[in-house]
Amino acid sequence: MGRKQTPLRPYFEKMPDIGKALSDAEVRRTEENVGLLKEQEDLIKEAIEKVRLSGTPAEALHKRGQMTAYDRLEYLVDPGTWCSLHTLYNPADNEEGCTGVIDGIGKIEGKWAIIIAFDNKVMAGAWIAGQAENILRVTDLAKRLNVPLVWLTNCSGVKLMEQENVYADRRGSGACFYRHAELNQLGVPILNAIYGTNPAGGGYQGISPTILLAHKDANIAVGGAGIVGGMNPKGYFDLESAEALIEATKGFKAKAPGRVETHFDETAYFREVHDTEKGVLDGIKDYMKTLPAYDPSFFRVAEPAEPKFAVEDLNRIVPFNQKRPYDALQVVARITDNSEFNEYRPDYGVEVFTGIAKIDGFPVGIIGNRQGIFPKYPEYADYPGVGGKHYRQGLIKQSEFVTLCGRDNLPVIWLQDTTGIDVGDVAEQAELLALGQSLIYSIEKTDISMMCVILRKGSAAAHYIMGGPQANNNNAFTLGTPLTEIYVMHGETAAAASYARRLVKEQEAGRSLEPVIEKMNQMVQEYVDKSRPIYCAKRGFVDEVIALPDLRKYCVAFTGANYQNPKSITPVHQMILPRTIKG
Amino acid sequence: MADLIAPMSGKVQKVLVAVGDKVEVDDEVIILEAMKMESPIFAPESGTVKEIKVNAGDNVAEEQVLIVIE
């Protein structure tokens, strides 16, 4: 071969260096911060462990010769690539402590996939409350990133005691099968490894994907064999009908319908049947090999490189004390290849930074909040700007940058640590309301994937205008950290807004203020309790809470998946953003 | 000799050193509070604290000398 190079080499091969090594003093004085973060990480680990142990003990399944969903995932996914999502998600506060599915992004045979498994320890993979919403998040993710969806199906059907929380509704369990149809129509393949008994909804879960591979003991069916009693003509149960039911159950010998004899031998729905559980997973691996995926070198603009500075430094850089500022570019320097970052308009809208970086050799856009105080900024006000807030220039800059990323097909990583958008009459005159919505418009106008990290605070409108999870069509997923707090406003501000008039009235009436003050403090505490990382994960405000040093790994997964099969391509040598930065 | 200067106006929240203390470069010596945020002020060089010109609770102006390090 003759000569060879990466595209637009002068712009991408070597980008400006950012960040610096931590000084000895910084290391010394951040020991406490590391400890405080560790405490939070331990709480999160404990919550995750509880989810892992939910339901039947793994040993019981092993004794029956079965693998757990976790065993299956471990066998299936390429080592070191798994990025879990929705682990603590449990919006309906199920007694099981989870939604009964386990999902994330990982590589199978070197290709990224969105992978989701029914937790067969939890009521044999029953439909439980919140699960449909979890699955819709996962199907939406496969759609957004345009990568295969891989199911490990093992679904016993509706938890009948709670059918009203599971079955019906616009986003109830059946909606997932429409999503499968949608993915298929969009050309996103769905591979299905089928285990165990899958009646009714489980049957649709079995049939709706693209390729069906079954374990020898698996079945999928319109209805299960378990409904032995049929209709009770009395409309209620009494001793007589209970005894009749006992007799019918004892004599019940029917096999589950839709077994391999039917759906492999007769209907031929199952492409493959395997005698072992691992065999089915090997089948999935083989199918993954057949799926299209660009070689990463097609889209890379440089050789992949780790950041120059250790990701573990992040536990020292981002302060636990929410009132403490920090150098946000020091965070970026722990995420990007070679700790390089080409900043767009660094002197304009200084409260936010925007720029291009490489993640695993792929070009991405990064946007985040700067912290600290900006004495002669914003230009329209007679007060100084504060990091984490948004002002006129910063909003305009973000809109411009997102638009250019859309034009150049660069995925965007948002690093949020924001308290909101500037308020007051001067802020209104500075058009901040319209500029906030303009940023939303700019995001929606693009068709690029975005990943959002709530480094510390996600608050007020700024949380959603900065590519937050509310950006349904762009946001692939949102991550929390042990420092994440998400609320519409600080608890004290909310309590003051809610009770100020009441305080005035009580005082004018000569009554004691204590009962109102007590309510205000209760409200403050509730705001604290309902904004913590575990709560945010449980409610789905974030898709996962991760330790800060894992951030780079998730960025790599997001970026790699984004570039595996993009729906739209901008030839690198035709990109405008790098040229705009250069001027 | 180095003067530790307030980079902005604000209120002294905490003085973390006493006269005679040895400090290393980049050690946190004072915490200023401004705009609801805590801004740590770091020692510009290593040395001994010779004079502390402010107390916790004092309001200080931008560029005011807070501590003298020798």
Residue A541, both tokens: 């405000």
Whether B22 contacts B36, CB under 8 Å: no
pLDDT for A448: 98
**Residue A406 host element (H or E):** helix A392-408
Task: Using pLDDT thresholds of 50, 70 and 90, give the confidence band for residue A185.
Answer: very high
Neighbours of A193 (CB within 10 A): 29
Query: Closest chain A residue to B40 measured between Cα atoms?
Result: A324
Q: Which residues of A touch B25 (CB under 8 A)?
A: 23, 25
Is A230 a residue whose pLDDT tops 80? Answer: no
Domain boundaries, chain B: 2-69
CB-based contacts of A568, cutoff 8 Å, min separation 6: A409, A447
Can you count the helices (H) and strands (E) in chain B?
0, 8
pLDDT for A217: 96
Rounded to the nearest angstrom, the minimum Cα separation between B69 and chain A is 17
pLDDT for A227: 60
Which residue, A363, A398, A358, is CA-closest to A572?
A: A363
Q: Which residues of B touch A324 (CB under 8 A)?
A: 37-38, 40
A282-331: per-residue pLDDT in tens?
A: 999 999 999 999 999 999 999 999 999 999 999 999 999 999 999 999 99
Q: Any chain B CB within 8 A of the CB of A386?
A: yes
Q: Do A386 and B35 touch (CB under 8 A)?
A: yes
Query: Closest chain A residue to B27 measured between Cα atoms?
Result: A25
pLDDT for A229: 52
**Residue A221 host element (H or E):** strand A219-221
Rounded to the nearest angstrom, the minimum Cα separation between B40 and chain A is 8
Q: How many CB pairs lie under 8 A apart between chains A and B?
A: 40
Q: What angle do CA A319, A325, A326 make, to 5 degrees?
A: 70
- The partner residue sitting opposite A323, judged by closest CB among B26, B28, B38, is B38
Task: Using pLDDT thresholds of 50, 70 and 90, give the confidence band for residue A354.
Answer: very high
**Residue A273: strand pairing partners:** A214
Residue type at position A466? M
Q: Do B27 and A324 touch (CB under 8 A)?
A: no
Task: Compute the distance between CA of residue A333 and CA of residue A309 in angstroms, rounded to an integer.
Answer: 7
Task: Compute the distance between CA of residue A286 and CA of residue A264 in angstroms, rounded to an integer.
Answer: 19
- The partner residue sitting opposite A375, judged by closest CB among B8, B28, B37, is B8
Task: Please provide the size of chain A in residues.
Answer: 583
The CA-to-CA distance between both ends of chain A, in Å, stands at 35
Residue type at position A468? G
Least confident of A399-413, A462-476, B37-51: B37-51
- What would the mean pLDDT of A532-548 be, rounded to a whole number? 98
Which residue, A294, A10, A275, is CA-closest to A147?
A: A294
pLDDT for A236: 87
Least confident of A159-163, A221-225, A419-423, A528-532: A221-225
Q: Is A360 left (phi over 0), alpha (psi -120 to 50) or beta?
A: left
Task: Compute the distance between CA of residue A283 and CA of residue A192 in angstroms, rounded to an integer.
Answer: 10
Residue that is written with structure tokens 């994937």 in the block: A449
Task: Compute the distance between CA of residue A285 and CA of residue A327 in angstroms, rounded to an integer.
Answer: 43
pTM tops 0.80, yes or no: yes
Task: Using pLDDT thresholds of 50, 70 and 90, give the confidence band for residue A232.
Answer: low
Going from the C-alpha of B70 to that of each of A117, B2, B14, B46, B54, the distances in angstroms are 64, 6, 21, 8, 17
CATH architecture of the domain formed by B2-69 = Beta Barrel (2.40)
**SS3 track for A146-188:** CCCEEEEECCCEECHHHHHHCCCCCCCCCHHHHHHHHHHHHCC
Task: Compute the distance between CA of residue A293 and CA of residue A109 in angstroms, rounded to an integer.
Answer: 11
A84-102: per-residue pLDDT in tens?
A: 999 999 999 999 999 999 9
Residue type at position B10? G
- What would the mean pLDDT of A145-159 be, rounded to a whole number? 95
Going from the C-alpha of B17 to that of each of A26, A164, A365, B31, B55, the distances in angstroms are 17, 63, 43, 11, 11
Catalytic annotation present for A256:
no
- The partner residue sitting opposite A373, judged by closest CB among B24, B27, B37, is B37
Is A240 a residue whose pLDDT tops 90? Answer: no
Query: Closest chain B residue to A385 measured between Cα atoms?
Result: B35
**SS3 track for A514-579:** HHHHHHHHHHHHHHHHCCCHHHHHHHCCCCEECCHHHHHHHHHHHHHHHCCCCCCCCCHHHCCHHH
Q: Which residues of A touch B36 (CB under 8 A)?
A: 323, 386
Q: What share of chain A in percent tops pLDDT 70? A: 98
Catalytic annotation present for A361:
no
Strands A373-374 and A385-386: antiparallel
Which of the following is catalytic: A101, A128, A158, A453?
A: A158
Task: Using pLDDT thresholds of 50, 70 and 90, give the confidence band for residue A225.
Answer: low
Before A378, cis peptide (omega within 30)?
A: yes
Task: Using pLDDT thresholds of 50, 70 and 90, give the confidence band for residue A582.
Answer: very high
What is the radius of gyration, based on Cα positions, of chain A? 27
Catalytic annotation present for A158:
yes
Rounded to the nearest angstrom, the minimum Cα separation between B38 and chain A is 5
> Can you list the alpha helix ranges (DSSP code H) found in A173-230?
175-186, 201-207
Query: Closest chain A residue to B28 measured between Cα atoms?
Result: A29
- The partner residue sitting opposite A23, judged by closest CB among B26, B36, B40, is B26
Q: Do B42 and A325 touch (CB under 8 A)?
A: no
Task: Compute the distance between CA of residue A566 and CA of residue B10 in angstroms, rounded to an integer.
Answer: 51
Whether B15 contacts B9, CB under 8 Å: no
Catalytic annotation present for A461:
yes
Which of the following is catalytic: A124, A193, A260, A421?
A: A421
- The partner residue sitting opposite B36, judged by closest CB among A321, A323, A372, is A323
Rounded to the nearest angstrom, the minimum Cα separation between B53 and chain A is 23
Strands (E), A244-397: 272-274, 342-343, 352-359, 362-369, 373-374, 385-386, 389-390
Over chain A, what is the mean pLDDT?
A: 95
Is B48 a residue whose pLDDT tops 90? Answer: yes
Over chain B, what is the mean pLDDT?
A: 90
Residue that is written with structure tokens 């406490």 in the block: A32
Task: Compute the distance between CA of residue A411 and CA of residue A406 in angstroms, rounded to an integer.
Answer: 8
User: How much of chain B is in helix, strand and coil states, percent to nearest 5?
Assistant: 0, 55, 45
Residue that is written with structure tokens 């165990």 in the block: A196
Whether A206 contacts A198, CB under 8 Å: yes
Residue that is written with structure tokens 């767009």 in the block: A344
Neighbours of A186 (CB within 10 A): 11
